A and B are shown apart, each in its own frame.
Chain A
Amino acid sequence: MRLTIKYPLTIITMALAAALVTGLVAYQISEKELRLAAERQSIEILESRKAALSRYLKSIEQDLALMATNRTVQEALGEFTAGWSTIDGRPQDRLRTLYVDKNPHPSNAHEDLDQADDGSAYSRTHGRFHSWFRQYIEERSYHDIYLFDTKGNLVYTVLKEADYATNLENGRWHRTDLGHAFRTTSFNKFPGFQAYYDFKAYPPRQNEPASFLATPVFDSDENYLGVLAFQMQLDPMDEIMQVSAGMGKAGRVYLVGLDLLIRNDPKFPKASEVLKAGDPTEFVNLALEGVAGAREITGAKGDEVLIAYTSVSFAGQAWAIISEFDLIEVLAPVTEMRRVMIWAGLFIGLLVTIVGVWFAGGLSRPIVTMTNIMQRLAERDLDVEVPASGRADEIGAMEKTLVVFKENAVERQRAEEELSQANEELQELNELKNKFMGMAAHDLRNPLGAIRGMSQLIVDLDLGEEKEKEFILSINEVSDQMLELLNDLLDVSAIESGNFDLNWQAADIGELLKNRIELVSYSAEAKGISISAKIDDIPFIEFDSARINQVVDNLLTNAVKFSPPDSVIDTEVRLQDTTIDVVVRDHGQGIPAHEINKVFTAFEKLSAKPTAGEKSTGLGLAIVKRIVDAHGGTIGVESVSSEGTTFTVSLLRRPNKNTAEQSDG
């Protein structure tokens, strides 16, 4: 994987992993803490409910005990019992007619009738005590107060409901809890006894839930008078259970009896749930067995619920208090935290990505740049620029190394180029040599063939003396040509191989020219050619006399060869600033412009021909050029067609002998 991807990816992965782990741990811890806190809170709430409920139930017990020993109650029970016995006919029917059927108040307000106007002793008693009892249940929030005589006749109730004035020992409602309460109490008629009957459907009240607490009543002489009973209301318990502090929106507290029925209206009931089946049963049973605790369960709908449970007992009766917390609500803070964390994580991820890419870029960019440069160097692209950031780190070291690499590569390439150029030159030289050898062999073969053929003819034929002499002269002439060619070849060979030492000596080049003119004058005169010489007053200069003789001879001989008969050859020796120039000018046919740059090339026989059948090896001017070059001088040629050719040799007045020789190996 490329560094530009790997570095940022590593950084981002690590950062995200760190953020994720931290977040997860924080989330887990928070969630656990919240759950524990919720558990503690629910247990606390439960305990406080339990305490409140206990206080309330205790107050009921105390109320009943106080009422039973209250003189007013004792007096009232005594008088109601007496009044009951003095009623004509069936007191049951009579009282129900008076206080229920003929009650001027509506059925839900029968208690407002203080006294029926029948003038009976009962009604007088009723008139004396009723308002007191009525006020009492209103103040103490009881549903009703019951007074029984010893036989079970319900001689007084505040509300005058269906049970009023019936006999609970054996009458219509004797199977109800009120009947049980009376009988149990009358059976256990000793002071302080209390019989409790838990909430249960109560038929006289259209099966509304009803709970009773009963106690025997004695007069001051401890004579048993009858039974006092309370019917408890649900509302106070509801109020206790409905305390909503810390319960959350969906939290509920249930009070559940042994019958697994709910005693209170839980918070926000759709309908009254009192005495409906308790739920969940498992925790109710646990609580009723006296176990307290809390547990998380998953509800039917997959919702998590925290259940706490404990029990409270009253008059030997156990109730379970169950609280339900919606964990979604409990965990709402961590849900919010999770949401915040996701956004924070995304933000951090983005930030880390940007920083990571930036940082990794800073790290990998120079490496990538370097890699590209190395690649280009590997591909021999030596124009590539190696950056010089001057960094003190490894990147800087890499740059420096790379500069060395590049320099080496440049050096190597230069060496290779030189080598290949040298190779090329060698190859060219080799080709030239082959060509040269081929030409030399060719030019040697013709005269040799002539020598062979003519000597053969002399032997084979009777040619006669004159003819034989002519043949032998020809052979001699051809042999001269061969010798000349071989000498030239050896010269060229010597010059080319660097085996060419100049014998530097100071001399007068003007004298040299005059001497050489004299030597060619014979062959010149044979063609009617005259040679003029115009020689400046010149100093001695250093040169190799033998070689310069060769040069001048060659130029003069060529001039004679290519001059038309009866023409003039002009020669000059000119004194120049740094050189002395030797000029030879003929008036021959000239050299065509396209051939002028070939005149100094070996074996280049040009189109111009000697004017009197003279021979040429084609090497003369090549040798001349090499000799002049070896002296550090120059040779030039100018030619005008049909007007003649001018050769100018320039020799240095102060030759640098070493470089002059070396410049032409």
Chain B
Amino acid sequence: MADSDNLSILLVDDHVTQRLMMSTALASAGFRIVGQAENGRDGVEKFMAHKPDITLLDIEMPVMNGISALKEIMAADPKAFVLMMSSVGNTDIIDDCLMAGAYHYIRKDLPVNEVAPAIMDNWRKAR
């Protein structure tokens, strides 16, 4: 748990229940939720504002989707650590995201108590 202490996270997802669930789980795992956004545009603005250590980015969102948001984020900060949140099956889109600079992805059907360890695994690998 100590590893995740004080790692700041930005959560971008259009489903309010998803955000509630994720923020609760991640906060209890020791992450610091610095912001939540409901679409890509909002997400990019909040990224600029908070410069979080980790950005969790949903792919299908209104106004601005995850890929467009990812590209703006990476353009603004090439060192940004972004993990995509994806449903099963749309691997082509995930490939596009990895090409666009996302570090990896977290599957949305992962049990909620495994999300924080998965994020940490990726974070450690990235360091």
Contacts and interface: CB of A to CB of B under 8 A. Distances in A.
B24 A467 contact: yes
Nearest to A438: B89
Nearest to A481: B17
Interface in A276-305: none
Contacts of A453: 18, 21-22, 25, 111-112
Given A449-B108, A453-B112, A461 B24 contact: yes
Interface string B84-97: 00010000000000
Contact of A442 (B25, B62, B87, B111): B87
Interface in B65-87: 87
6 contacts: A446-B108, A449-B18, A450-B15, A457-B24, A461-B25, A609-B62
Interface residues of B, number: 17
Interface of A: 442, 445-447, 449-450, 452-454, 456-457, 460-461, 463, 467, 470-471, 474, 477-478, 607, 609, 613
B28 interface: yes
Nearest to A453: B112
A445 B24 CA distance: 20
Contacts of A456: 111-113
Of A442, A463, A477, most B-chain CB atoms within 10 Å: A442
B87 A477 contact: no
A261 B17 CA distance: 154
A157 to B, nearest CB: 154
Given A453-B25, A467-B24, A446 B111 contact: no
B48 interface: no
Interface in B10-64: 15-18, 20-22, 24-25, 28, 62
Nearest 7 A-B pairs (CB), nearest first? A453-B112, A450-B17, A453-B21, A474-B17, A456-B112, A461-B28, A454-B21
Given A449-B18, A450-B21, A453-B111, 15 more contacts: A445-B109, A446-B18, A449-B109, A450-B18, A452-B111, A453-B21, A454-B21, A456-B113, A457-B21, A457-B113, A463-B24, A470-B20, A471-B21, A474-B20, A609-B62
A120 to B, nearest CB: 170
B87 A457 contact: no
A570 to B, nearest CB: 27
Given A445-B87, A449-B108, A452-B112, A457 B17 contact: no
B20 to A, nearest CB: 6
Contacts of A470: 20
A450 B23 CA distance: 12
Interface of B: 15-18, 20-22, 24-25, 28, 62, 87, 108-109, 111-113
A661 B109 CA distance: 43
Nearest to A478: B17
Nearest to B109: A449
Contacts of B113: 456-457, 460
B45 to A, nearest CB: 18
Nearest to A446: B15
A92 B25 CA distance: 191
A609 B63 CA distance: 9
A442 B17 CA distance: 16
Contacts of A474: 17, 20-21
A138 to B, nearest CB: 148
Given A442-B87, A446-B15, A460-B113, A454 B20 contact: yes
A308 B112 CA distance: 142
Nearest to B62: A609
Nearest to B17: A450
Contacts of B20: 454, 470-471, 474
Contacts of B25: 453, 457, 461
Nearest to A462: B28
Nearest to B114: A456
B89 to A, nearest CB: 9
A447 B17 contact: yes
B16 A457 contact: no
B110 to A, nearest CB: 9
A349 B21 CA distance: 108
A237 B16 CA distance: 158
A447 B108 CA distance: 11
A453 to B, nearest CB: 4
B21 A613 contact: no
B112 A457 contact: yes
A324 B63 CA distance: 131
A478 B15 CA distance: 11
A475 to B, nearest CB: 8
A164 B24 CA distance: 186
A58 B92 CA distance: 144
Contacts of A445: 87, 109
Contacts of B109: 445, 449
A442 B111 CA distance: 17
A460 B113 CA distance: 8
Contacts of B17: 447, 450, 454, 474, 477-478
